[in-house]
């Protein structure tokens, strides 16, 4: 399996530097990763570096807790697109989820889908599967999946539990066929990465990307 083509090479730590971003982008070109995922202030720089290449630029919105106002998420998304982002990874409002306020969540997702798709960009919706019940994961798939999202994503990488094969399998079972899955959080070796792909993930958010493609033990050094 060419695992590199599934990977969003990621650095989201709050102390990220320009040098970190340049290294991330150069590695993504060298190893053939699908995308980089960078903090919003670095989107413009990453887009400039990667403009001549196949590698896409992703960034995060409402990250990592998801409870930003919808208006703030829309503004973040618009700015990211202006700066050159191809893909938006947005954290849903977990407070609304725990209160089962599906009206709020559906309205928020519809707005973000519209903003992204009007500009030809992709929207990934992060549900933080590691801290949800099975019923909550299924409800996210059934209620948010049909709203036009491009991916449902397992995790931010900042909760106590990240991606799991079981969560990916559950999401694949209950999502519409056209919605892809991105697994992220705690993916540090080839065996786990390939198991997630076998379970149905079509993207992997990783900071240990180079170690994964080399088959070496990985370490979470970039906050993901």
Residues involved in catalysis: 89, 153, 182
> DSSP for 63-78?
TTT--S-HHHHHHHHH
Phi (first) and psi of residue 101, to 5 degrees = -90, 75
3-state SS class at 167 = helix
Number of H helices, E strands in the chain: 9, 8
How far apart, in whole angstroms, are the C-alpha atoms of residue 7 and residue 141? 22
Q: β-strand 122-126 against 35-38: which pairing, if any?
A: unpaired
Contact 170, 191 (CB under 8 A): no
Residue 183's DSSP bridge partners are 204
Query: HSE of 61 in the Cβ direction (CA atoms, 13 Å)?
Result: 30
Residues in the chain: 224
Contacts of residue 106, Cβ cutoff 8 Å, sequence gap at least 6: 143, 144, 147
């Amino acid at each position: 399996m060419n695992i590199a083509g599934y990977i969003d090479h990621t650095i989201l730590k709050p102390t990220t530097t320009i040098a970190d971003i340049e290294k991330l982008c150069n590695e993504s070109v060298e190893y053939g990763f699908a995308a980089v995922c960078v903090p919003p202030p670095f989107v413009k720089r990453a887009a400039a570096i990667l403009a001549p290449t196949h590698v896409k630029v992703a960034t995060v919105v409402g990250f990592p807790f998801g409870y930003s106002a919808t208006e703030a998420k829309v503004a973040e998304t618009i700015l990211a697109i202006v700066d050159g982002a191809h893909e938006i990874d947005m954290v849903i409002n977990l407070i609304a989820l725990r209160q089962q306020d599906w009206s709020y969540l559906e309205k928020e997702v519809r707005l973000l889908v519209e903003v992204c798709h009007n500009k030809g960009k992709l929207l990934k919706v992060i549900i933080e599967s590691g801290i949800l019940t099975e019923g909550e994961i299924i409800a996210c798939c059934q209620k948010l999946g049909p709203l036009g999202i491009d991916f449902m994503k397992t995790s931010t990488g900042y909760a106590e539990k990240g991606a799991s094969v079981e969560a990916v399998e559950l999401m694949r079972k209950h999502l519409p066929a056209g919605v892809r899955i991105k697994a992220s959080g705690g993916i540090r070796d080839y065996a786990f990465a390939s198991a997630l792909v076998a379970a149905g993930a079509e993207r992997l958010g990783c900071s240990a990307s180079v170690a994964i493609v080399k088959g070496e033990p990985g370490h979470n050094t970039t906050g993901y």
